[in-house]
């Protein structure tokens, strides 16, 4: 086919997808940035250009800083932990241990359950007094009055636990796939050379899993900013924003306070943060990833 026709065909094939992509991803992203320089329109007042005023409001907003720090702690707490647990799960499932099917099912089930649904279950677990954790604590230690969700010091941690529980099984699958592509001869060779199990893992298996780790951690980063469903049920962001996350604050600002300009400003921060983290990760891992 001639060059020209090839171009035309290609563009025609791409057009439908591109139209939707632009309408719902690229254009909104640009409009978000633009909107952050205007004020919110209320029924009686129109929207006006305000320059950097929204950003100034952002910097002066203690809730914003609280929410940002929360999200960073949240990312720090959930990403390495869920990846590590996922790796251990994959290693276990990969071996011929007893009840393998059941174990795999148990690990993966959280992934198929909607987060908003399981949040109610976890709400019960965390309830003081007759909640499951307190009942166990009373049984084991005799003390059973912990207010996990109502204490600013533990609320974020409690939310993180739910997230890790939800995520680990999902990441496990990718590690499982990767583990199964490692040629057993490699492991045999290492063992024959007298390497211990831990050394084999550290020197052979883990480096081979690097591409998967990269993929999984980029996913985990995105999810750590995206998963806020359980906040609606567990804490509503409280107490005093101790467990609030950036996307949840954006939702509140846009759809409860109806302050769309400020919400756009917050979204810009989220976009920048995500881009930096994702790109940063690529660079970080690029050096460590070996492709065989």
Task: Decide if residue 86 touches other proteins (CB under 8 A).
Answer: no
Within 253-292, which residues bind other proteins (CB under 8 A)? 254-260, 263-264, 267, 270-271, 274-275, 278
Among 32, 50, 157, 186, binds other proteins (CB under 8 A): 32
Cβ atoms of residues 211 and 292 within 8 Å: no
Within 179-238, which residues bind other proteins (CB under 8 A)? 180-181, 187, 191, 197, 200-201, 205, 211-212, 215, 222, 225-226, 228-229, 232-233, 235-236, 238
Among 46, 49, 114, 286, binds other proteins (CB under 8 A): 114
CA distance readout (Å), 231 to 27, 31, 108, 149, 183: 29, 27, 22, 11, 43
Q: What is the DSSP string of 185-214?
A: HHHHHHHHTT--HHHHIIIIIHHHTHHHHH
User: Which residues are 150's β-sheet partners?
Assistant: none
| Residue 52 neighbours by CB distance under 10 Å | 12
Tell me which residue of 215, 249, 211 sits closest to 232, measured CA to CA. Answer: 249
Among 37, 81, 111, 289, binds other proteins (CB under 8 A): 111
Q: 77 vs 171, which CB is nearer to other proteins?
A: 171
Q: 2 vs 51, which CB is nearer to other proteins?
A: 2
Tell me which residue of 238, 214, 221, 268 sits closest to 74, measured CA to CA. Answer: 221
CB of 13 to other proteins, least distance (A): 4
Within 119-178, which residues bind other proteins (CB under 8 A)? 120-125, 127-132, 135, 142-145, 147, 149-152, 165, 168-170, 173-174, 176-178
Size of site (CB under 8 A) for other proteins: 130
Within 65-84, which residues bind other proteins (CB under 8 A)? none
- DSSP, collapsed to helix, strand or coil, labels residue 5 as helix
């Amino acid at each position: 086919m001639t060059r020209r026709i090839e171009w035309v065909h290609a563009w025609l094939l791409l057009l439908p997808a591109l139209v939707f992509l632009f309408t719902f991803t690229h254009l909104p992203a640009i409009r978000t940035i633009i909107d952050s320089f205007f004020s919110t329109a209320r029924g009686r007042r129109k929207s006006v250009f305000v320059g950097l005023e929204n950003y100034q409001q952002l910097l002066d907003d203690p809730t914003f800083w609280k929410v940002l720090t929360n999200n960073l702690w949240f990312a720090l707490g959930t990403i390495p932990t869920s990846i590590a647990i996922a790796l251990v799960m994959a290693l276990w499932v990969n071996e011929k241990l007893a009840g393998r099917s059941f174990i795999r099912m148990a690990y993966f089930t959280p992934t198929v359950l909607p987060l908003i649904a399981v949040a109610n279950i976890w709400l019960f677990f965390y309830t003081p007094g007759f909640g499951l954790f307190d009942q166990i604590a009373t049984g084991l230690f005799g003390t059973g009055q912990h207010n996990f969700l109502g204490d600013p010091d533990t609320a974020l941690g409690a939310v993180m636990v739910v997230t890790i529980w939800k995520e680990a099984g999902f990441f496990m699958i990718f590690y499982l796939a990767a583990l199964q592509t490692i040629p057993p001869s490699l492991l045999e060779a290492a063992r024959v050379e007298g390497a211990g199990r831990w050394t084999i893992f550290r020197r052979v298996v883990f480096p081979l899993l690097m591409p998967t780790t990269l993929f999984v951690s980029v996913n985990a980063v995105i999810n750590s900013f995206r998963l806020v469903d359980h906040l609606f049920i567990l804490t509503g962001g409280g107490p005093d924003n101790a467990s609030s996350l950036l996307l949840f604050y954006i939702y509140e600002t846009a759809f409860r306070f109806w302050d769309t300009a400020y919400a756009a400003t917050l979204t810009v921060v989220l976009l920048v943060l995500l881009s930096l983290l994702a790109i940063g990760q690529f660079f970080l891992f690029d050096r460590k990833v070996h492709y065989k």
